[in-house]
Every structure is written in C-alpha cells, then in structure tokens.
Structure 1
Amino acid sequence: MKRRHLLLMAAGAALGGARAEVPREIELTAQRFHFTPRVIALRSGEPIVLLIRSLDFAHGFFVPDLDLRTDLMPGRVIRLAFTPPASGRLAFLCDNFCGDGHEGMDGHFEVT
C-alpha cells in the first residue's frame, strides 16, 4: 500500500511538471488621454497576455524596457504576450500622438 502511494505521488509530480503555465490575461483600455488601468501588478517570470482595446483613436502601446510595441486600432482587441523578466517598474506609454494631453498617456507595471 505504501509503495502504491509513492508511485501515485511520483506520477502526479511528473504530470504537474509537464504542464505549461497558462498565461494570465489582463484587459487594458486606451482612450484619449489615458490607459485604464494605469498601474498593473505582475510577477517576475509570469506569462502575461494583454488584451488591449482602443476606444477612440489609433493609439500606440510601447514598453521601452522590453522593446515591445504595437498599434491599437479602434474597435479591435490586440493580444500582446510577454513574460516580465525581473522585478521592478516597467513603464508603458502611447507613442502615437493623439492630441493635447498625449504626453500624460502612460502607466506602468509593478513587477515583484
């Protein structure tokens, strides 16, 4: 009985190790002149998929420290996958000029 229990534990550990971590999906909205949410908490090494929607303009989304960039077209959901490599703050911003107030259209990821 004890041996069977150990074999089941070993099999369970082998199966658990074979599973890939499912990316966490986070919704993000772009609208003149802000992102919602502006601050997003992440864990280092955690796979992420951002689901980004622009409500009003062809905004840009840029994470300079990761050299990660995409255009955000109104009415479309853009999927952007990444894994934060280390703890710290990662800024993101709109890099398509969208009018007065554009320079304040930013946010950041707090990675722990």
Structure 2
Amino acid sequence: MTIDTQRRALMGAAGALALSSMLAFAMDKKPKVRVIKVMAKKFEFVPGEIHVKKGETITLQFTAPEVPMGFNLPDFGARTDIVPGKLATLQLTPAKTGSFTFLCDVFCGSGHEDMNGTLVISE
C-alpha cells in the first residue's frame, strides 16, 4: 500500500512538472510580427501594394523624405501621421480577406488626390 501511494505521488508530480513546462513554453511562444517598411513620397506609397495573410500581425514602418503625409486605411480604422525625419509605426492584424485601399489623408501637393495603395489580404 505504501509503494502505491508513493508511486501515485511521484506520477502526479511528474505530470504536474510536464504540464507546467508545456504551459511555460506555450506562453513564451509569441507570434512573429512582420515589419514592412513603407515610404510616403510625392505622390505615392512605396510599395504601393502590400500583401499579407489573414491573421498575420504586421508592423508598418513609415518614413516621408519630403513633406508631412498621412496614412489612412479606413476599412480597418487605422491611421497615422508621417512626419519627415521621424519613423511612424502602425501595427495591424487583419481579420478579413480582400483588397483594401489605403490613402494619404494629409494634403501634400498637386498630386495628393491620386496618392493611394492597396493592402491585399489572403487566406
């Protein structure tokens, strides 16, 4: 009877250790965030088309070499100002698929109205 009790206690401790190890590993595993660099220059975004997967977390890093710009992705409620000499970042995890237009929403000159791009999200 003593051997069975000790054996059960040992097996329980081993199981608890294995479970806590798996939990610690799962909690430590963070999803990778892909960084995409975007330059906003007169009168275009480079790149003008960005491809991502649904559920993929991305960080958009914006620079503007000339004048202040804006980035607006209305379908996701995402927006930021882009100021020359400063890095602007925007993190996004798209939950839907399709092609979505983003645009400059800060007047940047006579070609401003045509300054847009496309975010393409696939399965």
Scaled to the shorter chain, the TM-score interval is 0.7 to 0.9
Instruction: Extract unaligned runs of 5+ from structure 1.
Output: 1-7
In the TM superposition, residue 12 of structure 1 has moved relative to its aligned partner by 6.8
- Higher helix proportion, which one? 2
Equivalent position of 2:74 in the other structure: 64
Does residue 98 of structure 1 match 2:108? yes
Question: In angstroms, what is the RMSD of aligned CA positions?
Answer: 1.8
Normalising to structure 1: TM-score of the pair? 0.84
Q: Which has the larger radius of gyration?
A: 2
Normalising to structure 2: TM-score of the pair? 0.77
Q: Deviations over 1:34-93 (max 9, x none)?
A: 000000100000000001001111101000101111110001111111101111012110
Structure-2 separation of matches of 1:59 and 1:65 = 19
| Number of equivalenced pairs | 103
Instruction: Extract unaligned runs of 5+ from structure 2.
Output: 1-17
Map 1:15-94; keep pairs closer than 5 Å: 15=25, 17-18=26-27, 19-94=29-104
Poorly superposed stretches of 4+, deviation over 3 Å: 11-14
Structure-2 separation of matches of 1:14 and 1:104 = 50
